[in-house]
Structure 1
Amino acid sequence: MKNTEKISTQTLLALLAAALLSFTGILTETSMNVTFPELTKVFNVTLDTVQWITTGYLLMVTIIMATTAYLLKKFKSQTIHLLAAIAFVVGDVMCATAPTFTILMSGRLIQAIATGLSTPLMFHIIFNKIPAGRIGSMTGLAGMVISLAPALGPTYGGTISSTMSWRMIFWLILPIIVISWYLGSRYIRIDPVGTGGFDVISLIFLAATLFSFVFGVSKAGKYSLLSGQVVIPFIIGLISLAVFIYSDTHGKTQLLDIRILKWLSTSLSAFTYFALQFVNIGVSFLIPVYCQYVLHSSPFIAGLVLLPGSLVGAAISPYAGHLADSKGYAFPIILGLSSMTLGGFLFFGIQTVLTAWIVLLIYTFLRFGFNMGFSNTISNAMLNVPRKYTADVNSLFSMLQQFAGSIGVGIMAAVMAISQNNGTGSLAARSFVGGRYDFLLATLLSATALIAAIMNFRLQKHTKLNIEESD
């Protein structure tokens, strides 16, 4: 069934403003991955330390996204976009001129504020300004931005670092932020709807939860899994998570309403969304590192192998949304997860004969699957909760998306580091083993998400949520 409702030019330009800022922020998440070997020498740090440029960035983005359910209800969207643009510029200049790793890390964390605000803002515009019958198509375009940027990042970073300097990665993107700021100041117009107080306690314990888990994962690359350096952060994370859940569900104010997870369909969609991004960002980190350490590719080639997949994903994402609008969400999501599972299995199964060309082809197939399922998963979740909870779903899923990327990079980097530090043979041989475990992890997680999606759509088929009654 076709929807002929028109979308205003103002809405499209507002979306473009948020999309440009979100795209640029996400681009820098993975553009630095191909520079990790160089940065370890420049700043005299180890690989498991330098990966915090990506992991720490994603962690900060996750924490900021947790606040957006409140911020989008309390402040004008135009104001939020302006704050995001300013934060990006400040952090970008710090990174470009950083004399030490500490300054570089600080700049990345400030930049993360921009991405943490802009990505939920993009979806906020869609779910407030786009007709229901065209939400799938528009979230498909948003998904194109979110998925294209991390895949283009290594290509962009590899090209710039090979031909100029890694510092130019930050200087060259500044004009995009200026354009985004201009468009946002003119066309983003969504007034706040009012809300209660801000739950600072929940935010503190949520941040402690996320940081503890990611920190524990990062230490697993250096220490035994049963050592205090690994176990203690996980214990602290579990305690913080329990306090966060209690505070958020029993306090007078809420950071975001996690009670939306009481609907099994929402919980299954949340897990699927998490798994999709875990594999996406994790593999986008793994492949450039694997190509350099095992296949002895240059940074340029290591980044370039991701480019075709990113372009295929960009082309598929809007079509996947259109397919969901016309045929329903089950087909593109299940097809996508099946493709991702098969892609991960191919990486694992034929690893001994992998070349840069074969990696390129398999990754392209895997990216097809990711883009078929990613934006459709959040759209399906949005349409299966009462409308008053859409800001909470937006905030929660955006937060899960970034945490998945953060923990995905952390775990895959830790697995690689364990193999490199404790294995036998050459560095290439040790990296090969680490890659094998990472490919297996990506395969199993994709398969689990596929099972969750099948269960979800069977549930939706037999138990339709009565939104009007819940509202």
Structure 2
Amino acid sequence: MVDNNIDNTVDKRTALGIISIGFISFSGIISETSMNVAFPSLMKFFNVSLNTVQGLTSFYLLDVAIVMTLSAFLKQKFLERQLFFMALGSFLLGSIICIFSINFPMLLLGRLFQGISTGIGTPLLFNVILDRIPHKVIGLWMGIGSLIISIAPSIGPSYGGLLVSTAGWRWIFIGLLTLPIIALFIGNRNLSNSVRIKNIVKLDLVAFILLSTTLTSFIIGINSIAKGNINIILLIVFLLALGMYIWRSLTSSKTFLNIRVFSNSFFSFSLLLFGIYQFSNLAVNFIIPIFLENSKGTGSLLAGFSMLPGTLIGALLNPKVGKLYDAKGPKLGIIFGNILLVISLSILSINTDQLSFLTIMFLYIGFTVGRNFPMNTIITNTLDKISLSDKTNANAFFQTTNQFLGSLGTSVASLVVSNSTSLEKGTHNLFILLLCLALFNFIGVFKILNKKSLD
């Protein structure tokens, strides 16, 4: 008699290999989330505006998104250990540049190298999980992967606030140098390559350039609006690049993202909802420290700490979300989470100017848990059900959307605040916008849950 439990086991080396890759993504995300708390200090140090300094987040996320568009190609072209060391080296180089930055462009350059690292490491993490973890426990391990990279936002603001208030912003990057060393030690000993033949594939460089141009022109255009300018040329470039990218993707025989996966309406709606949750997440993460520091007079350390309980609880719940999916399917996690998200955003929107540090901290717990449940369930449900041939491309689109919509969320938050009469009014308007998006998500949620088959 065959032991059915054998299909559910994950050997120690596989688990440690996954964790070592997760440290790369963890490092990139903690450097990203710790930056928001440092914005006021960086504005003074480099003598730049809020719209300029928020580029450290929005262009970092854009950089990550662009690199992630290559993940399907990289998976076919390179072995896992090669990608691991590429990500590791890029993060180390970026951190060193940031540590020794003497001007804002140099700091931005270092952040871009860190973005390349995250753009390689995060899809690699989930591709290894999808390839090597048994189907019966895929929800649990997708939750563990999400835990590794989502616990970083719970630490990032407090970590950044502590170092900015005591040692200075450069120590954010100095302290992070320890994480790649740990990842190197664990990964070098435990991460193995898949037993497969590397495909001889040719990158569709034209499609990559066109998509990169599309994403970049869109984000720069949003940022220019925040500064009071509507750039018609950027709009034309965006529309032309998008149209040409779609045409190229449908006609080229070379390897890049396969947009034909969007013909599957189940995937398309799932990706849209997933993107909205990430948009809301980064928009709120951007505005809360600034609102507390500049409107409520809260110090950088406490401003960062305000998000610690919420993101920590949300991160620790990720494996539970995965186990809930394995046991009950997607419905319970998605609907419960979206209801909690609507409730927390409703309260944040009612009397924004009356919000205190403690009120924001507790409401942020509800916001984060409410976002995590549907967001993590949706990506697991989609990648679990979509065809094997589309799985790598679907994961690439999820990871790219995760970063691009995060970048867009940061840019739109800056746009809303910059074009409001006060920081309090801008924060209120942003919460109202996010509440509307959460209510809209109910439409898409019921559509994907009522989907009977994957067309």
The interval holding the TM-score normalised by the smaller chain is over 0.9
Give the aligned partner of residue 69 of structure 1.
72
Instruction: Tell which deviates more after alignment, 112-121 or 239-248.
Output: 239-248
Indicate yes or no: 2:311 matched with 1:344: no
Indicate yes or no: 2:225 matched with 1:220: yes
In 2, the alpha carbon distance for the partners of 1:177 and 1:282 equals 28
Please state how far the C-alpha of 1:54 moved relative to its aligned partner: 0.6
**Match of 2:339, SS?**
helix
Please state how far the C-alpha of 1:3 moved relative to its aligned partner: 6.2
In 1, the alpha carbon distance for the partners of 2:170 and 2:207 equals 37
| CA contact 1:77–1:121 (8 Å) conserved in 2 | yes
Structure 1 residues 334-380: Cα deviation after superposition (integer angstroms, max 9, x where no partner)? 21122112211111013132100000010001111122122221111
| CA contact 2:151–2:316 (8 Å) conserved in 1 | no
| CA contact 1:76–1:189 (8 Å) conserved in 2 | no
Please state how far the C-alpha of 1:195 moved relative to its aligned partner: 5.4
Query: What does 1:138-287 correspond to in 2, within 5 Å?
Result: 138-191=141-194, 193-194=198-199, 196-224=201-229, 227=230, 229=231, 231-287=232-288
| CA contact 2:147–2:315 (8 Å) conserved in 1 | yes
Residue of structure 1 aligned with 2:426, choices 413, 431, 434: 434
Please state how far the C-alpha of 1:129 moved relative to its aligned partner: 0.5
In 2, the alpha carbon distance for the partners of 1:222 and 1:340 equals 30
Please state how far the C-alpha of 1:274 moved relative to its aligned partner: 0.4
Instruction: Tell which deviates more after alignment, 445-454 or 67-76.
Output: 445-454
Indicate yes or no: 2:15 matched with 1:12: yes
Indicate yes or no: 2:440 matched with 1:448: yes
Residue of structure 2 aligned with 1:59, choices 42, 48, 62: 62
What one-letter code is carried by the residue in structure 1 that aligns with 2:426? G
Instruction: Tell which deviates more after alignment, 345-354 or 66-75.
Output: 345-354
Q: 1:235 to 1:444 in 2, by over 3 A?
A: farther
Q: 1:117 to 1:48 in 2, by over 3 A?
A: same
| CA contact 1:3–1:133 (8 Å) conserved in 2 | no
Please state how far the C-alpha of 1:162 moved relative to its aligned partner: 0.7
Indicate yes or no: 2:447 matched with 1:458: no
In 2, the alpha carbon distance for the partners of 1:391 and 1:112 equals 21
Please state how far the C-alpha of 1:73 moved relative to its aligned partner: 1.3
Structure 1 residues 258-282: Cα deviation after superposition (integer angstroms, max 9, x where no partner)? 1111111000110011011111111
Give the aligned partner of residue 397 of structure 2.
396
Q: Percent identity?
A: 31
In 2, the alpha carbon distance for the partners of 1:150 and 1:278 equals 15
Name structure 1 gaps, 5 residues minimum.
424-429, 467-471
Please state how far the C-alpha of 1:186 moved relative to its aligned partner: 2.4
Query: What does 1:112-127 correspond to in 2, within 5 Å?
Result: 112-127=115-130
Give the aligned partner of residue 93 of structure 2.
90
Please state how far the C-alpha of 1:305 moved relative to its aligned partner: 0.4
| CA contact 2:266–2:454 (8 Å) conserved in 1 | no
Structure 1 residues 92-113: Cα deviation after superposition (integer angstroms, max 9, x where no partner)? 0110110110110000001111
Give the aligned partner of residue 415 of structure 2.
414
| CA contact 1:144–1:371 (8 Å) conserved in 2 | no
| CA contact 2:334–2:378 (8 Å) conserved in 1 | yes
Please state how far the C-alpha of 1:442 moved relative to its aligned partner: 1.3
| CA contact 2:64–2:115 (8 Å) conserved in 1 | yes
In 1, the alpha carbon distance for the partners of 2:5 and 2:69 equals 33
**Match of 1:190, SS?**
coil
Give the aligned partner of residue 367 of structure 2.
366
Please state how far the C-alpha of 1:121 moved relative to its aligned partner: 0.6
Give the aligned partner of residue 469 of structure 1.
none
Please state how far the C-alpha of 1:465 moved relative to its aligned partner: 2.8
In 1, the alpha carbon distance for the partners of 2:353 and 2:101 equals 40
What one-letter code is carried by the residue in structure 1 that aligns with 2:449? F
Structure 1 residues 174-195: Cα deviation after superposition (integer angstroms, max 9, x where no partner)? 1110111222222222335525
| CA contact 2:217–2:238 (8 Å) conserved in 1 | yes
In 1, the alpha carbon distance for the partners of 2:167 and 2:313 equals 28
What one-letter code is carried by the residue in structure 2 that aligns with 1:321? G
What one-letter code is carried by the residue in structure 1 that aligns with 2:212? A
**Match of 2:234, SS?**
helix
Q: Which runs of 4+ in 1 moved over 6 A?
A: none
TM-score w.r.t. the length of structure 2 is: 0.96
In 1, the alpha carbon distance for the partners of 2:406 and 2:235 equals 18
| CA contact 1:280–1:370 (8 Å) conserved in 2 | yes
Name structure 2 gaps, 5 residues minimum.
none
Q: RMSD over aligned Cα, in angstroms?
A: 1.5
**Match of 2:74, SS?**
helix
Q: 1:195 to 1:285 in 2, by over 3 A?
A: farther
In 1, the alpha carbon distance for the partners of 2:156 and 2:237 equals 33
| CA contact 1:340–1:370 (8 Å) conserved in 2 | yes
Indicate yes or no: 2:98 matched with 1:109: no
What one-letter code is carried by the residue in structure 2 that aligns with 1:83? M
TM-score w.r.t. the length of structure 1 is: 0.93
Structure 1 residues 316-337: Cα deviation after superposition (integer angstroms, max 9, x where no partner)? 1110110000000121012112
Indicate yes or no: 2:41 matched with 1:38: yes
**Count of residue pairs brought into register by the alignment:** 449
In 1, the alpha carbon distance for the partners of 2:427 and 2:393 equals 37
Give the aligned partner of residue 427 of structure 1.
none
In 2, the alpha carbon distance for the partners of 1:237 and 1:337 equals 32
